[in-house]
Structure 1
Amino acid sequence: MTVGLVAVTGTSGRVGDAVARALEAVGWTIRGADLAPGPRTAIVGDLRDLRVRRALVHGADLMIHAAALHAPHVGRVADAEFRSVNVDATAALLRDAEAAGVRRVIYISSTSVYGNALVPTDRAVWVDEQLPPQPRDIYDETKLAAEALVAAASMPSVTLRIARCFPEPLPVLATRLLHRAVLLTDVAAAVVNVAAQDTVTGVFNIAGRYPFTRADGVALHDDAAAVIAERAPEVAAEFQARGWPLPKTIDRVYDSGAAMAAFGYQPTEAVLRLLREPRNGEAPTPSP
């Protein structure tokens, strides 16, 4: 798809703003919508409002839907509100986008939809798109329901299940980036790649570049530190230099191989980048 007008929901949030900035940088015209004001939010309002939805999608070539209630809202927001925001508003938005002639949809989902399937038994779980989701809470349920709506829409669509990407203490984040977290810049780059390729459809994991293979599953479960020392000695050395223990066990590894093959997604070596290129003593910011 050549660049044009892209309607982006959630542009005042971390993921939506990063995606909008990255698309803008390659020539897309951004029209953003969010409940809260933001530098790339042209329309401030609730997506459950017909006027907001129609103003957002009018004349748009592409729609990227990133707005949602997220995992931190579980237990603080009623389940009915989750369904209203994450499912009902998505259904209405898809109908209005179709009526407005939007040609393609990219939906920002989460690897959280795998839910209870992420719990290991005797080995680390290898998480690719063939792993059946087992939602464990209202967030997982509503994100998976929204994925189904997007897949059933008349417009071609891509769903990106993005890995963990919110700020955490540096030692925790460094460990997460070994197997289950992703940098925000990588998420934005993935969306830019998908937006540029009309023929790509389907569901894809968007995670980091990790040093493990599926065959490492048992060893990662039993003695992750030894596997890290073998597979990623530079990372092990960086941990040792800081006095941080390597994890004793790793419960899962996200696999972005399908996204790499389908649209050229190329995640960075995030752990070494995090540890070797601090910004005024702080880590580069990852995505949700």
Structure 2
Amino acid sequence: MDDPVTVTGTSGLVGAAVAAALDGAGWTVRGVDRVPGRWTDVVGDLRDPAVRDQVSGVVVHAAALHAPHVGRVADREFRRVNVEATAALLPAASRFVFISSTSVYGHALVPADRAVWVDELLTPRPRDVYDETKLAAEQLVADSGTDAITLRIARCFPEPPQVLATHLLHRAVRLPDVADAVVRAIRLPDVTGVFNIAGRYPFTRDDCPALHRDAAALITERLPDVARHFRERGWPLPGTIDRVYDSSAAEEALGYRPSTGWKSSGAAA
């Protein structure tokens, strides 16, 4: 672990969590971001060659424009930051861990007569420039010839307690679990490809029709403690659930073991 790991976006939520986890696991971390932060050593834009020259070895690329920037930032800027900067970083990396998003599935997440089971076999159907550019960057990573892995992470940003408690049932992930997945991806350089990184949820693919029809009934039957927590707080259980993220491929390939957020979602929220 003597060689440093370069993490981009270390002043952001995911990058900072990844840097802290790597530091705790014994790696030397070099952080790069456009703004200062606790884990940021190099302050600058990755499109600047002088900044990119400081990126080498194992690289975790978390820096990006995100969904909240859609409509506020020009599409061309999305392509420069999310695609062109990724392409420029790849040649210098010995191992490249690309932080993507389950958002790339886009329109494929819209249910018809059942909740959508979201594993890596689901074909992405981007709905905006964020999805388009993250998916384009994924393709660059896959085609680069670099030893690389792409992690499509589920939503892990702060949300109101009731919203978070609901999302932890089927589509959110704890930030420490994201960081743990990255650490595992670095420790297992032979593992390549694309993996969903989500929580551990109490549903199976066979539950998808019932989740779309009457999620509250299924939650009450399957998770009585969670239903009780919701009732105690005056929160309605969701009547329908539109999707369930599946990260079992990452569990098998990386030994990823997400926390079971739904067990404590009502109490902790």
TM-score by length of 2: 0.97
Q: Distance between the aligned counterparts of 1:10 and 1:53, measured in 2? A: 13
> Which of 211, 218, 224 is equivalent to 2:202?
211
Q: Is the 8 A contact 1:43 1:56 kept in 2?
A: no
Any residues of structure 2 matched to 1:55-94 within 5 Å, and which? 55-57=54-56, 60=57, 62-94=58-90
TM-score by length of 1: 0.91
Q: Distance between the aligned counterparts of 2:234 and 2:209, measured in 1? A: 26
Write out per-residue CA displacement over residues 175-217 of structure 1, whole angstroms, 9 at most, x where no aligned residue.
Answer: 0110001110110011111111121111000001100000011
Give the share of equivalent positions with the same residue, in percent. Answer: 65
AA paired with 2:69?
H
Note the C-alpha offset of 1:3: 5.8
Any residues of structure 2 matched to 1:222-233 within 5 Å, and which? 222-233=213-224
Q: 1:3 to 1:254 in 2, by over 3 A?
A: farther
Q: Which residue of 1 aligns with 2:177?
A: 186
Q: Which residue of 1 aligns with 2:12?
A: 13
Which is worse superposed, 173-182 or 225-234? 225-234
Q: Distance between the aligned counterparts of 1:265 and 1:169, measured in 2? A: 27
Q: Distance between the aligned counterparts of 1:182 and 1:163, measured in 2? A: 6
The alignment partner of 1:89 has SS state of helix
AA paired with 1:167?
P
Q: Distance between the aligned counterparts of 1:122 and 1:274, measured in 2? A: 27
Q: Which residue of 2 aligns with 1:33?
A: 32
Q: Distance between the aligned counterparts of 2:151 and 2:118, measured in 1? A: 14
Q: Distance between the aligned counterparts of 1:274 and 1:223, measured in 2? A: 20
Structure 1 segments unaligned to the other structure (5+ residues):
278-282, 284-288
> Which of 167, 174, 183 is equivalent to 2:165?
174
AA paired with 2:152?
R
Note the C-alpha offset of 1:271: 2.8
How many residue pairs get aligned? The number is 269
AA paired with 1:121?
A
Note the C-alpha offset of 1:56: 2.4
Q: Distance between the aligned counterparts of 1:208 and 1:263, measured in 2? A: 14
Q: Is the 8 A contact 2:201 2:262 kept in 1?
A: no
Q: Distance between the aligned counterparts of 1:112 and 1:67, measured in 2? A: 16
Q: Verify: 1:262 aligned to 2:250, yes or no.
A: no
Q: Distance between the aligned counterparts of 1:145 and 1:204, measured in 2? A: 16
Q: Verify: 1:48 aligned to 2:47, yes or no.
A: yes
**Which 4+ stretches in 1 moved above 4 angstroms?**
none
Q: Is the 8 A contact 1:32 1:56 kept in 2?
A: no
